[in-house]
Amino acid sequence: MPELPLFKNKQEKIFLAGKNVLSEYYGILSDEERLNKYTLYAPFDGAFTNVVLETGSVANPGSRLASIIETGNLEVEVPLDPVDITWVKIGDKVKVTGESFKDTLSGTIVRKASFVDPATQSFNVYAKLWARAGQGVYNGQYLQVHINDVTVDNAMEIPRNAVFNSNEVYTVKDSILYKKQIKVIRVAEHNIIFRGLNKGEMVVSEPLASVREGMKVVAAASQKPQAPGRN
């Protein structure tokens, strides 16, 4: 703020004071002095993603000045189908790959949403990435995330089309067709992981048409469910 010019006479000073010119001038000087005393520092190294108020703008209490990200502390948002959310736990390890870097990065699931995103009908989980500066990971880019496999104890896996009525399968014993209920644990794209059959039972792995329980059948080949299953 430039210095105030000297007054030519007392009348000029009274006139400027009456028009609040002097009070406005010294108010601005006071604001400049106050501004010099307060400098804001982010508690981390990062970058600006959005600047709301430019230099010289008036900032009222509570006004947002800018948005800053911590470039060394990144999270990746992973949308999951609701049927898969129960398989993911906080603390699970993940592997992350992307087009902008060659290395496979490690991460950990740190948060899980408690609601479904209405736009995507999926649950979001968040993985913290252990990335170093210069590895080519940037805010806003798309990444591929592989969540470590989950072992399902005492379970079996069969093709989805072998299951009918949502939880029933056909088994064969002494060339006779039997209907049995199973407990479905997880439905994958092509297979179903389940419990409910005894070890060694023969299960029909393909859909059958026009059959009924008690019919005599001839097995083309022994087809036993795989155990244990892996998600």
Describe the strand order of the beta sheet including 202-203 as a list of residue ranges: 176-181, 168-173, 202-203
Ordered DSSP codes for the chain: -PPPPPPSSHHHHHHHHHTTHHHHHHHHHHHHHHHHH-----SS-EEEEEE-S-TT----TT---EEEEETTS-EEEEEE-GGGGGG--TT-EEEEEETTEEEEEEEEEEEE-SS-BTTTTBEEEEEEE---TTSS--TT---EEEEPP-EETT-EEEEGGG-BTTTEEEEEETTEEEEEE-EEEEE-SSEEEEE---TT-EE--S--SS--TT-B---SS----BSSEE-
Domain spans in the chain, listed from the N-terminal domain onward: 10-70, 75-150, 152-226
Distance CA 83, CA 19 (A): 71
Q: What is the model's pLDDT at position 231?
A: 46
Q: What is the model's pLDDT at position 133?
A: 59
- Residue 93 banded pLDDT, cuts 50, 70, 90: very high
- The CATH-assigned architecture of domain 152-226 is Beta Barrel (2.40)
What are 54-74's pLDDT values in tens digits? 877 888 888 888 888 887 788
Q: What is the model's pLDDT at position 112?
A: 92
Distance CA 158, CA 226 (A): 7
164 pLDDT higher than 70: yes
What are 106-137's pLDDT values in tens digits? 899 999 988 998 888 899 999 998 866 566 77
CA 160 to the chain's CA centroid: 28
Q: What is the CATH number of domain 75-150?
A: 2.40.30.170
Structure tokens given for 54? 């430019």
Q: What is the model's pLDDT at position 225?
A: 54
- Residue 221 banded pLDDT, cuts 50, 70, 90: low
226 pLDDT higher than 70: no
